[in-house]
Chains A and B, each alone.
Chain A
């Protein structure tokens, strides 16, 4: 390998609650662990849906306000469109062996990745530790997040 210095730690922020907003961060966190890199994942704002028990099974693709989808916004807004696009994408991901979100969170945790929720968002959405899946290590402040990211790379998604 030609790199001079290996990345030792990454801290990934997941801030969006759509399927396409959540997966890239999860794939990067899991990929980091696969490469022997320490990984912290910090969920904030609607990104917290990915670790909220009641919501993590039901994350959808945004079909409105998403020009890359290639469907007109008014069509994207029709009932069922988001569910349809989500099911298509999930099928494709299953084919590539990319797990559903709850299983992915479990895999990252099993791989030694650490999962955190953002205190400011937790307070804003009036959530409790119990509302999150068991893999969530702790609810932390942004200051704590920076402390644990020291010496590593921070990636915001």
Chain B
């Protein structure tokens, strides 16, 4: 389905995940973050978002929380502090990636 986020028409799933990552930009990220209850994207948030995007581009797979820790160097505690209540679900949504389907 189509949705307009801060003036940009984008394709999203029923749950609001972008289906075309080329439509993503930082303004959209800020708007999605607000929707999921994160008022401001700090340097720490961007570090996570950039790692998710970079790792997805390299591996064509969404990283797990463990991979965010071991490869991305972002401690799990920090990840949960930055994106409370569903860190990977929120972070991937903000990063314009798909909803994670892994169990770990």
Binds A, one of B4-12, B44-52, B72-80: B72-80
Listed by A's residue number, 6 A-B pairs whose Cβ atoms lie within 8 Å are A36-B84, A97-B66, A107-B69, A111-B65, A111-B76, A111-B80
Q: Does A98 contact B (CB under 8 A)?
A: yes
Q: Does A147 contact B (CB under 8 A)?
A: no
For A72, list chain B residues within 8 Å (CB): none
CA distance A48 to B65 in the complex (A): 25
Do the beta carbons of A110 and B103 come within 8 Å of each other?
no
- Closest CB-CB distance, A133 to chain B, in whole Å? 16
Q: Does A74 contact B (CB under 8 A)?
A: no
What is the number of contacts between chain A and chain B, taking CB atoms within 8 Å?
42
Do the beta carbons of B15 and A107 come within 8 Å of each other?
no
For B85, list chain A residues within 8 Å (CB): 36
Q: How large is the interface on A (under 10, 10 to 19, 20 to 34, 35 or more residues)?
A: 10 to 19
0/1 per residue, A117-132, Cβ < 8 Å to B?
0000000000000000
CA distance A35 to B89 in the complex (A): 8
For A34, list chain B residues within 8 Å (CB): 65, 86-89
CA distance A107 to B15 in the complex (A): 27
Do the beta carbons of A1 and B76 come within 8 Å of each other?
no
Known: A97-B66, A99-B66. A31 touches B104 (CB 8 A): yes
What is the chain A residue whose CB lies nearest that of B69? A107
Within 8 A of B (CB), among A84-106: 96-99, 103
Known: A31-B104, A96-B104, A97-B104. A110 touches B89 (CB 8 A): no
What is the chain B residue whose CB lies nearest that of A35? B86
Q: Does A30 contact B (CB under 8 A)?
A: yes
Do the beta carbons of A110 and B77 come within 8 Å of each other?
yes
Do the beta carbons of B103 and A36 come within 8 Å of each other?
no
CA distance A122 to B69 in the complex (A): 33
Q: Does A16 contact B (CB under 8 A)?
A: no
Do the beta carbons of A97 and B75 come within 8 Å of each other?
no
Do the beta carbons of A98 and B75 come within 8 Å of each other?
no
